[in-house]
Structure 1
Amino acid sequence: MQKILRPLAMILALASATIMSACASGQPPDTPSANTSLSETRSSGPSRWELVRWQRPDGTLRDIPHGDNGQPIIFDFNDGIDSPQGTVSGTSGCNRFTGGYGKTSTGIRFDRIAGTRMACPGPRMELESALLKAMSSPFTTVGTQPSAGSMGRQIVWKTADGDLLQFVEREGVGRRGAKIDAASGKEKIVYIDSQRVECSGVGKMQCYRWRESPDAPWQLWYGAIEGLDFEPGVSYKLRVREYQVPNPPADASSIRWQLLDVEERSRAK
């Protein structure tokens, strides 16, 4: 039975309580059954997911990178998270990784995971090692949430060791917004700075800095750039299609940018 709760933190609390109760009684915790499909309103194709919470079986939390606290842990599913199988790539805490994934009757499995071998500070390497170890065994889906306002879909997976990993779908490679009339958009060239900066929208967030020409002043872009796999430290010249969004949510932009082409990219010196 699929569990769809609001807020999704309730799933984490309930699952944690189940695990801790089972440990106290000396019995192994039951594995919740789950319908792993999340396809409610999104198109097929790539989707990007960020690890936003990691809870251990005893209820304590791992410190995970996000915002200006380092490169977030990202999973990019080439055929979308709802596909029966495909390839996955992303960042694992320090390095980039790539491999395969396949849906199981209760969740998801990863295989053939390989990554780069860059050295990072001790805590990040420890986090990455724990994540890659967890990915060596299937994850069980214990909760999903189709959407929450302007937030993307969410999912909670339980690892073989009983940790709870909460992922949120992010704008980026392939996350689709609502369908719009392509003829209504206009093409434009934008220059994107090599680093995002902290800004304030509904709350604190990371914004792109952009300008219309190399000599123009920087402006803040609060939304996503759909289709851009942004790499910190790299500046971009992009050709995008700009759309007006009819009746946007109060906490969302009235303009969308969809990547058409990366005309130039250069690493900051």
Structure 2
Amino acid sequence: MPNIQRLPATLTLATLALLSACTTTTTADSPGAGASLTQTQSDGPSRWELVRWQQADGTLRELPQGDNGQPVIFEFNSGIDAAQGTVSGNSGCNRFTGSYGKTSTGIRFDRIAGTRMACPGERMGFESALLRAMQSPFTTVASQPSATPQGRQIIWKTAEGDLLQFAEREGVGRRGAKIDAASGVEKIVYIDSQRVECTGVGRMQCYRWRESEDAAWQLWYGPIEGLDFESGVAYKLRVREYRVPNPPADASSIRWQLLKVEERRRGG
């Protein structure tokens, strides 16, 4: 297992990536007690931007931006150090959703599904390469804690030997966008025991939810931040609902954050 490097704040991003390239690459397929980033927030949602992609031959891959300037973003519902959770974001052209889990050497991504918008060829090529890389576990080769001018950063090595450097960002949706906590509204929602296939711009898995036990089911297309959903278990949840300013065109303008699991039961 590679050692996690604690890097001083004076190191540049290029130096950070260069040091990472010297780390031995290994992979793992099962969750484990991977190293922490010694972060200041130990749980809850976190948002990370891909800021550098160094290919195995040392060349840099150009990073795309969306039509409204959106960068490549990964949003982890339970934080990057959680044992498991759901992940969503912008993969260069489309929105994606799936799950993630810690491994003994880094992180893995599972059941990744995305929308199917057409974009210019270079963005589609980038997205295909990123989603292909996410099919195998990433190895953590370097990290930088929050107590530095640049903030928290992490470098993962792909199975092909590329180095992906991410930096933590605030907010959801577009880069720098923030939500007003005071604008959130608490509500009770009932979640069905099984997710179902649904279609946004592309095929994906959706929650079925309703506001009362005798109401009709509706589809929820986004994640429920903080919920460790177990198939076969129905939930009664207390959530805080936020309006997201300036969401991407193919993403929801509403965000749910779990406050409390009021009830869980097996079956429907």
Tell me how far apart the structure 2 counterparts of residues 135 and 161 of structure 1 sit (CA, whole Å): 11
**Aligned residue in 2 for 1:14:** 19
Matched, 1:31 2:25: yes
Instruction: Indicate if the aligned counterparts of 1:39 and 1:82 stay in contact, CA closer than 8 A.
Output: no
Instruction: Indicate if the aligned counterparts of 2:74 and 2:88 stay in contact, CA closer than 8 A.
Output: yes
Tell me how far apart the structure 2 counterparts of residues 67 and 95 of structure 1 sit (CA, whole Å): 9
**Aligned residue in 1 for 2:235:** none
Cα distance per residue 1:81-119 (max 9 Å; x no partner): 110000000000000000000000000000000000000
Tell me how far apart the structure 1 counterparts of residues 46 and 243 of structure 2 sit (CA, whole Å): 10
Matched, 1:57 2:59: no
Alignment size in residue pairs: 178
Structure 2 residue identity aligned to 1:158: K
| Bigger mean CA deviation after superposition, 66-75 or 119-128 | 66-75
**Aligned residue in 1 for 2:106:** 107
Tell me how far apart the structure 1 counterparts of residues 81 and 157 of structure 2 sit (CA, whole Å): 18
- Distance verdict in 2 for CA 1:96–1:167, change over 3 Å: same
Instruction: Indicate if the aligned counterparts of 1:86 and 1:101 stay in contact, CA closer than 8 A.
Output: yes
**Aligned residue in 2 for 1:231:** 247
Q: Which runs of 5+ in 1 are unaligned?
A: 19-28, 175-184, 189-225, 238-269
Higher RCO by CA contacts (8 Å cutoff, separation 6 or greater): 2
Tell me how far apart the structure 1 counterparts of residues 247 and 68 of structure 2 sit (CA, whole Å): 15
Instruction: Indicate if the aligned counterparts of 2:38 and 2:146 stay in contact, CA closer than 8 A.
Output: no
TM-score w.r.t. the length of structure 2 is: 0.58
Tell me how far apart the structure 2 counterparts of residues 67 and 122 of structure 1 sit (CA, whole Å): 13
Give the superposition deviation at 1:38.
1.7
Instruction: Indicate if the aligned counterparts of 2:138 and 2:157 stay in contact, CA closer than 8 A.
Output: yes
Cα distance per residue 1:35-54 (max 9 Å; x no partner): 53124311410000000000
**Aligned residue in 2 for 1:73:** 72
Tell me how far apart the structure 1 counterparts of residues 49 and 243 of structure 2 sit (CA, whole Å): 16
Give the superposition deviation at 1:138.
0.1
**Aligned residue in 2 for 1:24:** none
Give the superposition deviation at 1:2.
1.8
Instruction: Indicate if the aligned counterparts of 2:49 and 2:168 stay in contact, CA closer than 8 A.
Output: yes
- Distance verdict in 2 for CA 1:58–1:39, change over 3 Å: same
* Greater C-alpha Rg: 1
Tell me how far apart the structure 1 counterparts of residues 142 and 171 of structure 2 sit (CA, whole Å): 23
TM-score w.r.t. the length of structure 1 is: 0.58
Which of 4, 7, 10 is residue 5 of structure 1 equivalent to?
7
